[in-house]
């Protein structure tokens, strides 16, 4: 029998104990961005800049506990299958991860009253969170899709698992990838195929591009950023992780976070 994922000092519920608060009512700082924009690196730098900051279990852990395990009955590592299961959840629960996060009660003795969450993705999640959880604040981190592919190739993250196939003609495989034309133009496909000259394997490049393309089918980072720019500056901060290094991102967030909620 599979044992479901348990989140530390968090539980799904609507009847909080004296030491618990719904995450929906706490002044969360929520990072917004897709894979490879630099959220994890920024969090490490931010934890150094803001002592005592508590970071909630990340998107993957909450996805496993609230979305994946109840549907699959066990762990799912393939990224495409995870996208399919989370899309099912979003179909039933508008807001997706924002909805899932809002269902949790937090033990404030452990998490405090101003935790940080990494992170939301896409317009629907961000809009839902802003409309339903007025105490939350948002930090959007962005980077071009080509940069994201390079960052994924540069990190040995065992979670980045998508079935990839090695082949002789990487350019053709990339061009035939479903949805690739919605993310990368012909010149960018050429640039991606040339990454083999830098020592990356064709199968690894194809797998990382699949991640970016699959994610873009489900989430639109540009639309999320555009929406956040319509919110008051105290509620939303949008940063470019190409223009800013991790320390610069952390400094910007730390200064902004000291302002009024």
Together in a domain, 192 and 233: no
CA distances from 92 to 24, 60, 85, 99 (A): 19, 19, 11, 10
Together in a domain, 235 and 211: no
Residue 3: inside a domain: no
Residue 247: inside a domain: yes
Together in a domain, 74 and 176: no
Distance from the Cα of residue 109 to its chain's centroid: 26
Q: How far apart are CA 211 and CA 222, in angstroms?
A: 17
Residue 36: inside a domain: yes
Together in a domain, 203 and 96: no
Q: How far apart are CA 250 and CA 195, in angstroms?
A: 30
Together in a domain, 236 and 120: yes
Q: Give the number of domains in the chain.
A: 2
Together in a domain, 56 and 105: yes
Q: How far apart are CA 43 and CA 73, in angstroms?
A: 31
Together in a domain, 211 and 224: no
Provide the domain limits for residue 116.
10-144+218-257
pLDDT one-digit tens code per residue, 193-204: 999 999 999 999
Together in a domain, 123 and 23: yes
CATH assignment at residue 93: 3.40.50
User: How would residue 216 be classed by pLDDT, with cut points 50, 70 and 90?
Assistant: confident
Residue 2: inside a domain: no
- Taking the complete model, does pTM exceed 0.75, yes or no? yes
Together in a domain, 130 and 23: yes
Together in a domain, 56 and 131: yes
Residue 250: inside a domain: yes
Together in a domain, 90 and 124: yes
User: How would residue 261 be classed by pLDDT, with cut points 50, 70 and 90?
Assistant: very low
Q: DSSP character for 55?
A: B
Residue 152: inside a domain: yes
Q: How far apart are CA 71 and CA 91, in angstroms?
A: 13
164 or 114, greater pLDDT: 114
In the prediction, which pLDDT does 156 show? 47
Together in a domain, 168 and 94: no
Residue 4: inside a domain: no
Identify the H or E element spanning 70.
Answer: helix 69-72
pLDDT one-digit tens code per residue, 44-61: 999 888 888 899 998 899
In the prediction, which pLDDT does 260 show? 52
Residue 190: inside a domain: yes
């Amino acid at each position: 029998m599979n044992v479901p994922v348990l989140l530390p000092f968090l539980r799904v519920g609507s009847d909080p104990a004296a030491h618990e608060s719904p995450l929906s009512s706490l002044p969360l700082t929520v990072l917004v961005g897709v894979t490879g924009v630099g959220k994890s690196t920024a969090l490490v730098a931010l934890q150094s800049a803001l002592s005592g900051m508590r970071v909630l279990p990340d998107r993957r852990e909450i996805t496993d506990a609230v979305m994946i395990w109840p549907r699959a009955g066990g762990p799912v590592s393939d990224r495409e299958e995870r996208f399919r299961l989370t899309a099912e959840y979003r179909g039933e629960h508008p807001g997706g991860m924002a909805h899932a996060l809002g269902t949790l009660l937090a033990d404030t003795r452990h998490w405090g009253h101003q935790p940080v969450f990494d992170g939301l993705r896409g317009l629907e999640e961000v809009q839902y969170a802003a409309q339903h959880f007025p105490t939350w604040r948002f930090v959007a981190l962005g980077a071009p899709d080509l940069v994201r592919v390079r960052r994924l190739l540069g990190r040995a993250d065992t979670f980045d698992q998508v079935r990839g196939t090695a082949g002789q003609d990487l350019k053709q495989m990339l061009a035939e990838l479903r949805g690739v034309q919605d993310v990368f133009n012909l010149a960018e496909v050429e640039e991606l195929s040339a990454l083999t000259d830098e020592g990356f394997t064709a199968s690894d490049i194809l797998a990382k591009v699949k991640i970016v393309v699959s994610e873009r089918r489900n989430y639109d980072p540009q639309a999320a950023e555009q929406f956040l720019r319509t919110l008051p500056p105290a509620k939303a901060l949008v940063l470019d992780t190409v223009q800013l290094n991790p320390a610069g991102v952390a400094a910007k967030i730390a200064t902004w976070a000291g302002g009024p909620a």
